[in-house]
Amino acid sequence: MGNPPEKYLLSCDWGTTSFRLRLLNQSDGRVMTQLTAAEGVAAVYSRWKEQGSVDRLEFYCEVLKTYLAILSKDVSFSLNGIPMVISGMASSSIGMKELPYAALPFLLDCSNTICEKLESPGGIPHDILLVSGVKSSQDVMRGEETQLLGLAGSFPVGETGMIREAAASREGAVFIFPGTHSKHIRVKAGAIVDFDTFITGEMFQLLTRHSILKETLEKPESEKMTAGNLNAFLAGVRHPGVTNLLQSIFSARTNYLFEKLDKAGNFCFLSGLLIGAELESLRERKTGAVILCGGSNVSAFYEPALRELKLPVKTLIVSPGLADNAASFGHLLLFQQLQ
Amino acid sequence: MGNPPEKYLLSCDWGTTSFRLRLLNQSDGRVMTQLTAAEGVAAVYSRWKEQGSVDRLEFYCEVLKTYLAILSKDVSFSLNGIPMVISGMASSSIGMKELPYAALPFLLDCSNTICEKLESPGGIPHDILLVSGVKSSQDVMRGEETQLLGLAGSFPVGETGMIREAAASREGAVFIFPGTHSKHIRVKAGAIVDFDTFITGEMFQLLTRHSILKETLEKPESEKMTAGNLNAFLAGVRHPGVTNLLQSIFSARTNYLFEKLDKAGNFCFLSGLLIGAELESLRERKTGAVILCGGSNVSAFYEPALRELKLPVKTLIVSPGLADNAASFGHLLLFQQLQ
């Protein structure tokens, strides 16, 4: 079979704790094949520091080569020569090469993005477009801005048409990207004007894995929430103590001691408590539409939480399938515009 | 040398993560000798569950025997026969024997305390008075109520006279016992009427040991805070984001990325942020005097934080030496009244 690199694009979203590599069709963004791995830049950086002889960029490219070899087994042609776009923590101080942050306001037409083109770095047979992040006077992000580019800039029909409209409005909108470090990104007239980070997902991990509460919590067996667990989750979301988390978090211990909830219900309660505390912050600031951009793994939690809080705003839930593709759409746009 | 058990009392404060055993002079509460260890009931309980053959109370008594043997080396007489009072998590579901909680209001004249006398349990040559804790409709504590008995009930002169007066007042007072799980205990007319738990100390440990922030934090070398570190601490205490901890905690990452603080300063900032969030809750409720009962290891932090917040209340800082002895005074009182 031939090797038509101009038909394809390699799209890589490399976060602190996760890695995702996809082969896209350039013409329509269709995903030809993909893989995900738990090898985030934090782990790679630790290994790089331990070894101490190989150049940093080369070391990261060796990791990329391994995954490219795995991905290439899925297709009947060579991946050599196919260009690659990488966003996320890969451009951070613990990534493959550190790039300075772009500033605010950050226009969503791709014109403010800071990128660097790396030509076959470390002998890898691909040109890489490495994408940097954005900073405000007090916060930073790497990756979510590229997802937002993808959501707001791609295919202006149907669902994405509504997203473009909200992003372009003068009233403004808040885009929520839930996760380990959730981002609330404020967009006005087609530009990111501010954003906040919430340590929600990591806090939940800390508490369930390392705290005194861990004995009182247990991940529910089924992926689908039972009615009882959903009730426990919503009780957490609307807990009046969200304004003092140090106190309300401890109630997960007494919920169990007092037999108010079983371990699975308590797990859901704590999750609701943290997500509720994060979303409660939306009430404090006047805002236009709230747009939830959760992938399939988190929307199941944030969606009922947003409903429960009855925030006095127009809320749009981006379909998890589209949210899962946001980074890839952003990569495609950046590649087309910056080529 | 003789063995005058009627002159002495063994006082044991056994928490989740720490153990303290003291030999007291019964007549004046003077500490003859003492030891502390990191062997809290959580660790003992884990080992007991692993072994699976020895009876639970016996297993805990074996641990006590080891420490009694160490303590006995400090004195020139046998400890055999000296009575012992034990409070804290030793009476919990993970302790030597579970006792039910006492209810609220909990009178500070020792009349509401739930205790059980164990005669030479596990063949140990001591009678043990095991002290239970207190519960409200939504919270629990084991240990701090005994410390409060000691502070409010002992020697009504000088500093403790002011404490007794505040505890007896009809206006009420809040006693703060800082720690892994800080307690704010509300006292009115000589009785505990309510209390709240804050997971402040444990949260600080989770964040400094296990979170993404750990790379941006470093415990200052000196025990004494430098002026720079004190400023960083106070910046945390008065951080406007205390109402949304999930967001403000993340600012410890940007403090470091933006080179606003070095690692030691950032460590102090995070500590201030959490203590500030805990103390901010005092503003929400109308209260009489605030009485800080921190031992020597925590008062250095809570004292400047209380000053910085300028809470509109009368604040009394219990001297760390007295606070360190609170549990022992409580043991002495309980022993004398319940003998």
Question: pLDDT tens for residues A288-313?
Answer: 889 999 887 788 899 999 999 987 66
Going from N- to C-terminal start, the domains of chain B cover: 1-139, 143-328
Provide the shortest C-alpha distance from residue A274 to chain B (in Å): 8
In degrees, to the nearest 5, what angle opens at C-alpha A223 toward C-alphas A217 and A226? 75
> What is the distance between the alpha carbons of residues B149 and B143, in angstroms, rounded to a whole number?
10
Fold of B1-139: Nucleotidyltransferase; domain 5 (3.30.420)
Q: How high is the pLDDT of residue B239?
A: 87
Question: Which of B139, B243, B250 is opposite residue A199, by nearest beta carbon?
Answer: B250
Average pLDDT of every residue of chain B? 91
Question: pLDDT tens for residues A262-285?
Answer: 999 999 999 999 999 999 888 877
Q: How high is the pLDDT of residue A6?
A: 82
Across the beta sheet with A127-131, the strand order is A31-37, A19-25, A8-14, A84-88, A127-131, A115-119
The first and second tokens of residue B98, run together, are 């579970």
Q: How high is the pLDDT of residue B156?
A: 61
What DSSP state is assigned to residue B203? H
What DSSP state is assigned to residue A262? -
CB atoms within 10 A of CB A137: 9
Binary contact (B250, A138; C-beta < 8 A): no
State yes or no: ipTM above 0.90.
Answer: no
Provide the shortest C-alpha distance from residue A169 to chain B (in Å): 26
Question: What string of H, E and C letters represents the secondary structure of B283-315?
Answer: HHCCCCEEEECCCHHHHHHHHHHHHHHCCCCCE
Question: pLDDT tens for residues B263-315?
Answer: 999 999 999 999 999 998 888 777 788 999 988 778 889 999 999 998 766 78
Across B160-177, average pLDDT: 90
| Chain CA centroid to CA A331, Å | 14
Contact B130, B100 (CB under 8 A): no
Cβ-based burial of B221 (10 A; exposed 0-12, middle 13-18, buried ≥19): exposed
Contact A81, A304 (CB under 8 A): no
Provide the shortest C-alpha distance from residue B261 to chain A (in Å): 13
> What is the distance between the alpha carbons of residues B105 and B238, in angstroms, rounded to a whole number?
34
Binary contact (B277, A246; C-beta < 8 A): yes
Across A157-162, average pLDDT: 76
Across B228-248, average pLDDT: 86
> What is the distance between the alpha carbons of residues B48 and B93, in angstroms, rounded to a whole number?
13
Fold of A5-142: Nucleotidyltransferase; domain 5 (3.30.420)
> What is the distance between the alpha carbons of residues A221 and A41, in angstroms, rounded to a whole number?
30
Question: pLDDT tens for residues A80-125?
Answer: 999 999 999 999 999 999 999 999 999 999 999 999 999 999 999 9
Question: pLDDT tens for residues A211-227?
Answer: 989 889 999 988 788 99
The reply to whether B203 touches chain A by the CB within 8 Å rule is yes
Question: pLDDT tens for residues A33-85?
Answer: 999 999 999 999 999 999 989 999 999 999 999 999 999 999 988 999 999 99
* Exposure on the CB side of residue B105, measured as CA atoms within 13 A: 11
Asked if pLDDT for residue A244 goes beyond 90, the answer is: no
Which of the residue ranges A258-267, B72-81, B241-250 would you say has the lowest mean pLDDT? B241-250
Question: pLDDT tens for residues B25-45?
Answer: 999 889 999 999 999 999 999
Q: How high is the pLDDT of residue B26?
A: 93
Element (H, E) at B334: helix B326-338
Nearest Cα to Cα of residue B331 among B146, B115, B118 = B146
Q: How high is the pLDDT of residue B8?
A: 96
Asked whether the domain spanning B143-328 has the same topology as the one spanning B1-139, the reply is: yes
Asked if pLDDT for residue B1 goes beyond 50, the answer is: no
> What is the distance between the alpha carbons of residues A196 and A221, in angstroms, rounded to a whole number?
33
> What is the distance between the alpha carbons of residues B274 and B266, in angstroms, rounded to a whole number?
12
Asked if pLDDT for residue B242 goes beyond 60, the answer is: no
> What is the distance between the alpha carbons of residues A153 and A156, in angstroms, rounded to a whole number?
7
Contact B40, B23 (CB under 8 A): no
Yes or no: is domain B143-328 CATH 3.30.365.10? no
Across B206-210, average pLDDT: 95
Residue of B nearest to A248 (CA): B198
Asked if pLDDT for residue B21 goes beyond 70, the answer is: yes
pLDDT band at B193 (very low <50, low <70, confident <90, very high): very high
Binary contact (B207, A212; C-beta < 8 A): no
Q: How high is the pLDDT of residue A243?
A: 60
Q: How high is the pLDDT of residue A156?
A: 61
Across B190-211, average pLDDT: 95
Q: CA-CA distances (angstroms) from residue A45 to A14, A87, A97, A139, B237?
A: 12, 16, 11, 22, 33
Q: How high is the pLDDT of residue B3?
A: 58
Q: How high is the pLDDT of residue B162?
A: 86
Looking up tokens 């004249």, which residue turns up?
A: B109
> What is the distance between the alpha carbons of residues B131 and B90, in angstroms, rounded to a whole number?
8
Asked if pLDDT for residue B141 goes beyond 90, the answer is: yes
| Chain CA centroid to CA B170, Å | 26
Asked if pLDDT for residue A155 goes beyond 80, the answer is: no
- A206 neighbourhood in chain B, CB within 8 Å: 206-207, 210-211
Across B232-252, average pLDDT: 86
Backbone phi, psi, residue A296, to 5°: -60, -25
SS3 state of residue B178? coil
The first and second tokens of residue A250, run together, are 């401890």
Angle between helices B296-309 and B263-284 (to 10 degrees): 70
Percent over 90 (pLDDT), chain B: 73
Yes or no: is domain A200-321 CATH 3.30.420.310? yes
What DSSP state is assigned to residue B148? H
End-to-end alpha carbon distance in chain A: 26
Interface test with B, best of A246, A270, A284, A285 (most B CBs within 10 A): A246
pLDDT band at A168 (very low <50, low <70, confident <90, very high): very high
Asked if pLDDT for residue B223 goes beyond 90, the answer is: no
